[in-house]
Amino acid sequence: MSGYSFRLHERTALAAGLGIPFLAALALVPFRTYLSATNEALIMVVAVVAVAAPGTRAAGAVAALSAAAWFDFFLTRPYRQFPSRPSVPAGSRRSWSWTPPICRVSREPPA
């Protein structure tokens, strides 16, 4: 693989890490009255895995942080602003940050 195509892949993966969680949270806005916070968080985790599995570790980390931020912004009260105190348990945010390393490990061939 040439250096240019690798850099292009990495940049695309980083852009997806910012964009896909944003679009997922935006798509959940009309359904936030019908879905529980747990189901919304699981959908956001799927968005993070969608970026982390084919992308790089950096893209997975960006996606996890982006998902946490957009979850707080769009899907928790008060809507469309970042809360002054966390409304999602810290354990949920930590589990999102562990998603990319888990995906990376699962792609490596067994020794």
**pLDDT single digits (tens) 5-52:** 667 778 888 999 999 999 999 999 999 889 999 999 999 999 999 999
* Domain residue extents for the chain: 3-107
What does pTM read for this prediction? 0.68
| Pairwise CA distance, residues 3 & 64, whole Å | 26
Sorted by sequence, the CB contacts under 8 Å of residue 1 that are 6+ apart come out as none
Which residue is listed with tokens 């993966």? Answer: 13
- Binning the chain into helix, strand and coil, the percentages to the nearest 5 are 75, 0, 25
**pLDDT single digits (tens) 39-95:** 999 999 999 999 999 888 899 999 999 999 999 888 887 777 766 655 556 555 555
| Pairwise CA distance, residues 100 & 62, whole Å | 9
Distance between first and last Cα of the chain: 23
